[in-house]
Structure 1
């Protein structure tokens, strides 16, 4: 998944790189819920010193993706399925707000990226691996949040979407095929590209509701 810094041709700072790599591993459950995170092992694996790694872990704790205990260490948080309703409640307010702002305020610099992403998700079919589909979903959401042009809104939604995606990954083997759900983002991106505020908000709201219903049916 390409980050904003990388898309601008810049190498991210070491702590930022560590944060993004570990964040996505935690979201995708590559680092299993409840598992211990060894600083020495992660430092060697990522080729980073302890200082940037610890900075990354502090941010991840704020994101509720890891938890640290004195004298015990740092662990990946448990995925709490009971949080789904609370997460969805806030996303139903913020996702439409972000999509509407993106439709109204889309910059020329991001238009090409949205057009490319829209074409990519519209071409998605059932031959794609579930992991690849979820990575597409994360990419689309993060792009829309960035296009909204409000860093407070973006930060809040990224954190909520990360937590929702962990729940999704936890029940993935019980879900129906998700390709259609991901391809549906194409209509949302097209509404933003067309500057259609109302349509973008409706599609974003419907997407969050469909997600919650699908996950609940799998539980």
Structure 2
């Protein structure tokens, strides 16, 4: 890996895992000192992260970690349904044996990450699965749209998995792959919509856990150990 690749990977992981917080300014000099890379590869890494929606970089201003308001969640998942359900249909109609093999290997690796409790690796593989489904449409424009949308969701997936656990998170992917492999476009679309709706529900459940924790901390009648 080049210095740029290493800087990019380090920053991406720090953003997804919350080491770099939402809306936190990203000064390239401070980041260089923190992560041990030169300013040039660090700035190039920031440019790529901005292109992938991990960070925001307004003109003539310092970039910062892209945040997500609770009120944005429903619109985000609405966009996923609108984009990814027809993508699944196209994948079922156009996939090749080689692409099916790639999808299967990604899910096998995801199972291993879940078994090991490796949340970060699991969400990156989750992202890769959805990206490979989009690639199977043989439409690079669709693949690019799916990548951009889901890169912006990766931090949310990490938080949900960390809070709620990862048991069964790969089951829906297996259902989607099975439908695509069978060439069943209707079922692939149905499985994809249900998966996205379940993912949205996990975000709501995660928010509820946060609120319950706050209420517990503020209620003096709750016993502490």
CA distance in 1, matches of 2:178, 2:204: 28
Query: Equivalent of 1:209, from 189, 197, 214?
Result: 197
Between 57-66 and 104-113, the greater mean CA deviation after superposition = 57-66
Q: Compared with structure 1, are the counterparts of its residues 69 and 111 closer, same or farther at alpha carbon in structure 2 (3 Å cutoff)?
A: closer
Q: Which residue of 2 aligns with 1:81?
A: 70
Superposition TM-score, scaled by structure 1 size: 0.75
| In 2, Cα distance between equivalents of 1:133 and 1:57 | 23
1:36 aligns with 2:19: no
State the partner residue of 1:3: none
**What is the CA distance between 1:209 and its match in structure 2?**
0.6
Larger radius of gyration: 2
| Residues 27 and 163, structure 1, Cα contact 8 Å, conserved in 2 | no
CA distance change for structure 1 residues 111 and 71 in 2, over 3 Å: closer, same or farther?
closer
Task: Note the residue ranges of structure 1 that are not aligned, 5 or more in a row.
Answer: 1-10
CA distance in 2, matches of 1:141, 1:46: 32
Residues 123 and 183 in structure 1, CA contact (< 8 A), matched pair in contact too: no
- Number of aligned pairs? 206
Deviations 1:187-217 (A, max 9, x none): 2112212222111111111000111112112
TM-score by length of 2: 0.74
Which structure carries more relative contact order (alpha carbon 8 Å, separation 6+)?
A: 1
1:193 correspondence with 2:191: no
Q: Identify the residue that residue 56 of structure 2 maps to in structure 1.
A: 67
Point out the more displaced range, 38-47 or 89-98: 38-47
Residues of 1 paired with 2:94 and 2:36: CA distance?
Answer: 37
Counterpart CA distance in 1 for 2:151 and 2:144 is 11
**Alignment map for 1:169-188 (pairs within 5 Å):** 169-175=158-164, 177-188=165-176
Consecutive unaligned residues of structure 2, counting only runs of 5 or more, are 208-225
Per-residue CA deviation, residues 9-63 of structure 1 (Å, 9 max, x unaligned), is: xx7x87677556544542333422122323235557475661x543443343344
Superposed CA RMSD in Å reads: 3.1
